[in-house]
């Protein structure tokens, strides 16, 4: 039986208007400071950006539905990180040959096949696993809120074994050897981090946190100098 990685991105459940979406580099500037900048910019326009991001009610039933299709091996562990790039290492270290990805993004690499010539990052880790021969196939279960379409990746779909099923399309009894739950802090706001922690806990799987620092979010104590600093982010 081929080993399988179940990889879940928190942004699968977080949705907002298109103007609040974007492509970012994962660093402390974009996972914390940029959120304060967005908050301040929205405030200037008379809006509260915190009201623009919603969590899908699917978080409450997700793990129940997962267990209808997946079987966790004895002693399984869930790795928790901020960056999704860690899935590359988890799949490799656990000798996984299949990946099931729940995400708002395919993470196959953006910019055609040439994007797989770069080092492993949050945007291409899944494509790199296929290109490097670390896995044999990938199933991408898109968030209902995604802007992407499978045909965006036809150049890769024609080379590698990639499927885009819905959760209900999945067979039952899929054995999972490792789980990765990713916060993707450049895309998911810090004021939802407590909900993220609740989601991780609700999996019922013992967790190991790897490079997923707590983010402070306090808009009541932003000084004038803080505001200048954040606006320059």
For 81-113, what is each residue's pLDDT tens digit? 999 999 999 999 999 999 999 999 999 998 878
**Residue range 144-160, pLDDT digits in tens:** 999 899 999 999 999 99
Tokens of 62: 């997700």
Nearest Cα neighbor of 198 from 219, 185, 221, 181 is 181
For range 50-56, the mean pLDDT: 91
Q: How confident is the model at residue 20 (pLDDT cuts 50, 70, 90)?
A: very low
Bridge partners (DSSP) of residue 70 are: 174
Nearest Cα neighbor of 85 from 206, 183, 214 is 183
- Give pLDDT, residue 96: 96
Buried b (16+ CB within 10 A) or exposed e, 64-84: eebeebbebeeebbbbbbbbb
For range 114-142, the mean pLDDT: 94
Contact between 103 and 10 under an 8 Å Cβ cutoff? The reply is no
CA angle 57, 139, 131 (to 5 degrees): 135
For range 49-77, the mean pLDDT: 94
What is the DSSP pairing of strand 14-15 with strand 137-142? unpaired
């Amino acid at each position: 039986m081929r080993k399988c990685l179940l990889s879940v991105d928190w942004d699968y459940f977080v949705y907002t208007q298109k103007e609040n979406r974007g492509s970012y580099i994962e660093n402390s500037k974009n996972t914390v400071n940029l959120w304060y900048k967005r908050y301040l910019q929205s405030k200037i326009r008379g809006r509260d950006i915190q009201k623009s991001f919603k969590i899908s009610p699917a978080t409450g039933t997700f793990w129940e539905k997962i267990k209808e299709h997946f079987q966790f091996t004895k002693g399984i562990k869930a790795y928790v990180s901020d960056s999704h790039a860690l899935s590359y290492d988890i799949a490799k270290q656990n000798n996984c040959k299949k990946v099931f990805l729940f995400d708002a993004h395919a993470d196959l690499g953006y910019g055609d096949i040439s994007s797989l010539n770069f080092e492993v990052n949050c945007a291409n880790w899944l494509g790199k696993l296929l290109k490097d021969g670390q896995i044999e196939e990938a199933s991408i279960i898109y968030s209902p809120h995604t802007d992407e379409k499978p045909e965006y990746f036809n150049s890769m779909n024609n080379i590698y074994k990639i499927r885009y099923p819905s959760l209900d399309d999945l067979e039952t009894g899929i054995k999972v050897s490792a789980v990765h739950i990713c916060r993707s802090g450049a895309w998911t706001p810090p004021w939802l981090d407590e909900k993220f922690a609740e989601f991780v806990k609700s999996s019922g799987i013992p967790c190991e946190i790897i490079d997923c620092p707590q983010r402070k979010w306090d808009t009541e104590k932003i000084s004038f100098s803080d505001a200048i600093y954040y606006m320059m982010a």
